[in-house]
Amino acid sequence: MIWRAQPIIGIKTGGWKRREEGYIQRLYDKNQAANNFAHIITHHLVVRRQKMVDLEKELAAMREYYSSGNTRDASWRRAQLRGLLLLLHENQTEIFNVLKQDLGKHPAEAYRDEIGSTIKSINYALDNLKGWMSSEKAKLPKVALLTTAAIVPEPLGLVLVISSWNFPIGLSIEPLIGAIAAGNSMVLKPSELAPSCSSFLAQKIPAYLDSNGIKVIEGGPTVGEQLLQQKWDKIFFTGSAGVGRIVMAAAAKHLTPVTLELGGKCPAIVDFLSSSWDIEVAVERVLGAKFSACAGQACIGIDYILVEKKFYPTLVELIKIKLKTMFGENPRDSHSVARIINRHHFLRLKCLLDDPNVRASIVHTKKSQEVYIEPTILVDPPLESMIMEDEIFGPLLPIITLQKIEDSIEFIRSRPKPLSLYAFTNDRSLRKRIISETSSGSVVFNDALIQYLADTLPFGGIGDSGIGRYHGKFSFDEFTHYKAVAWRSFLVDFWFRFPPWNDHKLQLFRHCYEYDYLGVILTVLRLKKPKPSSAS
Ligand code: NAD
């Protein structure tokens, strides 16, 4: 209830009256402030409620559009995929600009990681759409006389895609490709932390795609939570494990299936490499994967290196040389390392280095300024420090030394399952052991990040690093329900399928389930006596 100031009626005299008036004025001011505050809250609630009502109406219209069947048509799917291609081709300069504004990405990096890779995925979907959409005939055993069956892909319905800020264009469009190819209606909520990219998507997607079936809703956690309160047929989320839990809990309420593309700490094992060529290539690939993809703010970026103690001085020296070759004396001036997304994350990364023991482990760094952090190399920071417990998600690269490189297997097994595991080694038995004794979303030998570009490989995590997979056909599958369809003829039936039951029928069931056709024929012709059931 809102407490309102009432006019005071009455005659008072002298100082007492003035005191009384002062008191009343203060009371009045206080009430006025309370009233204003209450008005603001009420207004906020009304606006919020109205927004929810508008959102519900919008989603109801999208559901109706989906029910009309438009989005299922192959022609609609192709038109939307071509629209996405056109959007990427016609707005490249603008995409370079928004990625520069939000993350300081160089156009070459932007094209490699967000535009080119996405164009490749759209072309792959367009080339394969017909095959993906086709029903597949299912093989049935002979006992299923006069029956045919097929697996028919059908879209899930209205889906929600929530994306993250580190590859704000690529990670928004990549899941849309699968959702469109599979014939769904969809809402995309990009990350508010990359505001230029988010508003670019909100402006351009309606201009190139069918707004009845595909919408962009901008906003942060509040909007995200409002969206999660709605009923969806699928939620595809890219982001942190913490928010992933919120998404999964909200989805459980409506039994909505989820794909969670999460992160974690991706290790890179660097074995002793005898050839100097191999070592140089390995170091270039490690540094490229760590620092040239969004300055280490990448879910599949290398988080830390595992190396044998005797090998680390060589490795560190080579890293210093190669860092200079790739990024010059002052990496910031090279414009080849992206910047940290915002001050909060900049301070978070600085905080990881605040621990004196961690600070003491730095072997290479330069002064950080504003939201830019120089590539920093550390050797053996304490394993219980934050830098070794949390996902780093920035240009800090710890090197952990081990007595034997084989110890890396136990090191990785004792931690949450990573999204990706990298190993630079020529040792076949170590490679075999890594594949069979560790668990991760992907394993790459002698390189890093390249798995993201392979349309024929599933991309996704396991355990703490995520649920589900996408890219190429896997994206189509992630947004598709495979419906089992069977057709029977009215001509023939097996009389023994129906009661009343007897041992003869029991015997026929036994032969049928064992596909023992001779047994069936002999039992039908009464040439084989049924085994009595123990119950009768
Ligand atoms: P985040 O979880 O903070 O945000 C992701 C999205 O969720 C954003 O759109 C955000 O607005 C939204 N969101 C935030 N709070 C919400 C809430 N309460 N309800 C609903 N939506 C909410 O993650 P981030 O900071 O954008 O991304 C960094 C994390 O994402 C890292 O852990 C990284 O490893 C991971 N990541 C994973 C992949 C992958 O493909 N596996 C790709 C990129 C990033």
**Tokens coding 59:** 């989603």
Pairing of strands 158-162, 147-155: unpaired
| Interatomic CA distance for residues 291 and 33, integer angstroms | 52
Domains annotated on the chain, with CATH: 49-262+477-481 (3.40.605.10), 266-460 (3.40.309.10), 494-536 (no CATH)
The helix/strand/coil state of 443 is strand
Protein residue with its CA nearest to atom 42 in ligand 1? 299
Pocket around ligand 1 at a 6 A CB cut-off: 162-166, 171, 189, 191-192, 220-221, 224-225, 228, 238-240, 243, 246, 261-263, 299, 391, 393, 419, 461, 466
Q: Count of alpha carbons within 13 Å of 403, Cβ hemisphere only?
A: 2
Q: Are the beta carbons of 431 and 336 closer than 8 angstroms?
A: no
243: CA distance to ligand 1 center in Å? 6
The helix/strand/coil state of 248 is helix
Burial of 177 (0-12, 13-18, 19+ CB in 10 A): buried
Question: What's phi and psi for 318, nearest 5 deg?
Answer: -65, -40
Q: Count of alpha carbons within 13 Å of 101, Cβ hemisphere only?
A: 14
- Under 8 Å CB-to-CB from 285, ≥6 apart: which residues? 424, 446, 447, 448
466: CA distance to ligand 1 center in Å? 12
11: CA distance to ligand 1 center in Å? 65
What is the atom index within ligand 1 of the atom nearest the CA of 162? 9
Calculate the alpha carbon distances from 138 to 90, 150, 324 in Å: 43, 5, 58
**Tokens coding 163:** 């994306």
Which residues are registered as beta bridge partners of 153? 482
| Interatomic CA distance for residues 461 and 468, integer angstroms | 7
Cβ atoms within 10 Å, residue 223: 16
| Interatomic CA distance for residues 335 and 101, integer angstroms | 13
**Tokens coding 269:** 């094992």
Query: What pLDDT score was predicted for residue 8?
Result: 40
Protein residue with its CA nearest to atom 39 in ligand 1? 261
Calculate the alpha carbon distances from 515 to 143, 144, 187, 531, 532 in Å: 7, 10, 49, 17, 20
Which residues are registered as beta bridge partners of 270? 307, 424
Query: What pLDDT score was predicted for residue 530?
Result: 83
Protein residue with its CA nearest to atom 34 in ligand 1? 263
163: CA distance to ligand 1 center in Å? 6
The tens place of each residue's pLDDT in the chain, 536 residues long, gives: 333 434 444 444 455 566 667 776 777 777 777 777 777 777 666 777 777 889 999 999 999 999 999 999 999 999 999 999 999 999 999 999 999 999 999 999 999 999 999 999 999 999 999 999 999 999 999 999 899 999 999 999 999 999 999 999 999 999 999 999 999 999 999 999 999 999 999 999 999 999 999 999 999 999 999 999 999 999 999 999 999 999 999 999 999 999 999 999 999 999 999 899 999 999 999 999 999 999 999 999 999 999 999 999 999 999 999 999 999 988 888 889 999 999 999 999 999 999 999 999 999 888 777 789 999 999 999 999 999 999 999 999 999 999 999 999 999 999 999 999 999 999 999 999 999 999 999 999 999 999 999 999 999 999 999 999 999 999 999 999 999 999 999 998 899 999 999 999 999 999 999 999 999 999 999 998 888 777 65
What is the atom index within ligand 1 of the atom nearest the CA of 466? 41
Which residue type occupies 294? C
What is the atom index within ligand 1 of the atom nearest the CA of 191? 9
The helix/strand/coil state of 193 is coil
Q: Are the beta carbons of 86 and 208 closer than 8 angstroms?
A: yes
242: CA distance to ligand 1 center in Å? 8
Cβ atoms within 10 Å, residue 64: 11
| pTM for this entry | 0.90
Q: Which stretches of 239-311 are assigned E, i.e. beta strand?
A: 258-261, 267-270, 304-308
| Interatomic CA distance for residues 453 and 456, integer angstroms | 9
Phi-psi region of 350 (alpha: psi -120 to 50; beta: other; left: phi over 0): alpha
User: Which candidate, 434, 376, 362, places its Cα nearest to that of 405?
Assistant: 434
What is the atom index within ligand 1 of the atom nearest the CA of 239? 30
Q: How far is CA 514 from the centre of its chain?
A: 44
The H or E element spanning position 291 is helix 276-291
**Nearest 10 degrees: Cα torsion 169, 237, 192, 94:** 10
To test the pocket of ligand 1, the residue of 235, 243, 342 to mutate (highest count of ligand atoms within 8 Å of its CB) is 243
Protein residue with its CA nearest to atom 10 in ligand 1? 191
Task: Return contacts of 407-410, CB within 8 angstroms, 24+ apart.
Answer: 408/267, 408/269, 408/306, 409/433, 409/434, 409/437, 409/438
Active-site residue list: 261, 299
46: CA distance to ligand 1 center in Å? 29
Tally of helices (H runs) and strands (E runs) in the chain: 20, 16
- Start-end of H helices in 134-230: 170-181, 195-208, 221-228
Protein residue with its CA nearest to atom 18 in ligand 1? 221
Query: What pLDDT score was predicted for residue 510?
Result: 95
Q: Are the beta carbons of 150 and 136 closer than 8 angstroms?
A: yes
Q: Are the beta carbons of 387 and 381 closer than 8 angstroms?
A: yes
Question: What's phi and psi for 529, nearest 5 deg?
Answer: -80, 135
**Nearest 10 degrees: Cα torsion 308, 313, 318, 321:** 150
Protein residue with its CA nearest to atom 20 in ligand 1? 224
